[in-house]
Amino acid sequence: MPTDYYGVLGLSQGATDADIKRAYRKLARDLHPDVNPAPEAKERFQEVSRAYECLTDPDKRRIVDLGGDPYETGGGGGSPFGGGAAGFGGLGDIMDAFFGGAGGAARGPRSRTRAGGDALLRLDLDLDETVFGTTSDITVDTAVLCDLCAGAGTAAGTHPTTCTTCNGRGEVQSVQRSFLGQVVASRPCPTCTGTGQVIPEPCSQCGGDGRVRARRTIPVKIPAGVEDGMRIRLTGHGEVGPGGGPAGDLYIEVHERPHDVFTRDGEDLHCRVTLPMSSAALGTTLNLKTLDGDEEIDVKPGTQAGSLITLRAHGAPRLRGTGRGNLVVHVDVQTPTRLDEEQERLLREFAALRGEDRADSHREAQGGLFSRVRDAFNGR
């Protein structure tokens, strides 16, 4: 005799889905083995779970409404708890019921239209392009919307049809026996891949995917002050999604080519100049070619090796804030390695005038230095 699944939940035939869920939730709270350890409660919980699973499955409920019992066909087998096909399915149902899920009902088909993925492209730029900004045309090879079917994936005049394997639910169920009873598992339908629909006549251009690969050129505006390794985001210029879904984003990763003269440290630029010993001693004026044009640099008399000369606001613009960084000139002093007779004579005369030709002049200089250091330690 068929089981009265409505009666198990205290309902009558014609109850709504909300009534079934409400009744199951109330009974499951009282009968779940974690709450009520009584043996009869465990058996009753299995009966309630089985009734709930049956009445929330459209196909099984249809059999019940026609006076049959869906578990009496196909050799369902029994559960060691006396509940038949409920098993862990009942535990999943009660969790869904408590936390607002769909209970034992199918999750439903997923959409054929899905968002596309992001794309990443490297862009090599010169130093002046990253400092002052530029507009560069880039070529990308990504998935774009199929212009023949406009993303539908179907041939002209045709439409998707309901999948006959899952009857449009997007998933199929399988029952496995275990020592705890029968476990009902759901998985995406292998025929429609979970969409609940199939395309009998796919588009000849995209094969039903709704998108095709294409090469396109996009102008990219590079902001002034961008640094090596930074990424620029172009919203909606990535891959178009399956079924003509919205495109992802395109990221442009900036790589700055090495410069022959300048190196970069954030918004500051650095370069090196080498001065003859005489120019460093007497002072001079240098003509330096910067990114902004030619600049004259005044080198003060007595400039030492390792000195820094700073040109304000000749660096890169600040991305966050206003103004520009600086250009820092590092000075090297070149000592001559070869002198002719006249040059050597004049240099010796110069050393004699300064008292630097005596053998003890270096020791005196060192002694003076060491004495100053000693005095500093002694608190003088």
Q: Output the known binding site for Zn(2+).
A: 146, 149, 163, 166, 189, 192, 203, 206
Residue type for 115, please? Answer: A
Using left for φ > 0, alpha for ψ between -120 and 50, and beta otherwise, residue 215 falls in: beta
Q: Identify the three-state secondary structure at position 112.
A: coil
For the chain, the farthest-separated pair of C-alpha atoms sits apart, in whole angstroms, at 128
Query: Tokens 């370069």 identify what position?
Result: 271
Q: Which parts are annotated binding residues?
A: 146, 149, 163, 166, 189, 192, 203, 206
Cα distances (Å, whole numbers) of residue 185 to 76, 85, 90, 176, 182: 15, 12, 12, 8, 10
Residue carrying the six token digits 């995209």: 206
Specify the DSSP element, H or E, that contains 176. strand 171-178
Asked if 68 contacts 54 with a C-beta cutoff of 8 angstroms, the reply is: no
Q: Name, in order, each residue with C-beta under 8 angstroms of 155's C-beta and a sequence gap of 6 or more.
A: 149, 201, 202, 203, 204
Q: Are 231 and 122 in contact (CB under 8 A)?
A: no
By the 8 A CB rule, do 317 and 266 touch?
no
Crossing angle of the two packed helices 88-98 and 39-55, in degrees rounded to 10 = 70
Strand pairing partners for 221? 135
Residue with tokens 């509940």: 83
- Location of structure tokens 């035939």: 13
* Strands 268-276 and 327-334, bridge-based pairing: parallel
Q: Cα 264 vs. chain centroid, distance in angstroms?
A: 28
The residue assigned the tokens 């862009």 is: 123
What is the radius of gyration, based on Cα positions, of the chain? 41
**For residue 79, which amino acid is it?**
S
The answer to whether the CB of 130 falls within 8 A of the CB of 225 is: yes
